[in-house]
Amino acid sequence: MRALRIVLILVVILGGLFVIADRVAVHFAEGRVADRLRTSEDLAGTPDVDIKGFPFLTQVAGGSLDDVEVGIEDYRASTGTDGETIRVDDLKADLKGVDFSADYSSATAATATGTGTIAYGELLKTAGSEPTQVAPGVTARIVGLSDGGDGKIKVAVEATVLGTRLPQPVYVLSSVAVRNGKVEVHADSLPKLGAVAVAEDRIREITDFRQAVDRLPGGIELDTVRAARDGVEITVKGSNVRLAG
């Protein structure tokens, strides 16, 4: 009986030591992957890396991690124009089937899905915010974007007619979607700028616009987009996504 008790105690101690060793190892690996990702993506800060699953050491022995979550608080994506960027807040990616090298210098995920948010102020930078002539004596520009409810964007258009600015912006609800890898904003109906008739194609030069969100981490791409309270919420996806290397 005493021998059995001793064996049980040893099992508990060894099990505890294994858990400690496993957690130390996973913490080390998360730090190495985060550092590599920061360098490879030229990030301003170190991303959060969370390696899921237990035990970690058995995954290491197999050379592949089942599930890795990566979080980047402030990611600067490319707009595809003259080195300009657009900020994606709280970009999170869930990576499955991550193969890695022994020193974690390279890692590739079989698949990835994720989410992020582009604030309305960021998206406004790409809209027609400069006054543009849409008819003789009429100029217009977008001065604000906000949540219009039900997945729509409320677009505020400021107009000047024959030298007189309209007292209030004209508002229009717009749909937002991803097309050809770009965020596309399209007015559901056209605003009326005073009593002046404006051709549809001219006013849509102001209300409708597209924004590329390129060079996301590891080659992930835009999937869907939806207007929300604080900005447009995006989802991303990819395959053979490179975390580092």
Q: 125-179, pLDDT tens digit by residue?
A: 876 577 888 888 888 888 999 999 999 999 998 888 888 888 888 888 999 999 9
Please tell me the predicted confidence (pLDDT) of residue 15: 42
Query: For all residues of the chain together, what is the average pLDDT?
Result: 81
Please tell me the predicted confidence (pLDDT) of residue 147: 95
pTM for this predicted structure: 0.84
Report domain extents, the chain: 2-111
Q: Where are the alpha helices (DSSP H) in 1-129?
A: 2-41, 56-62, 120-124
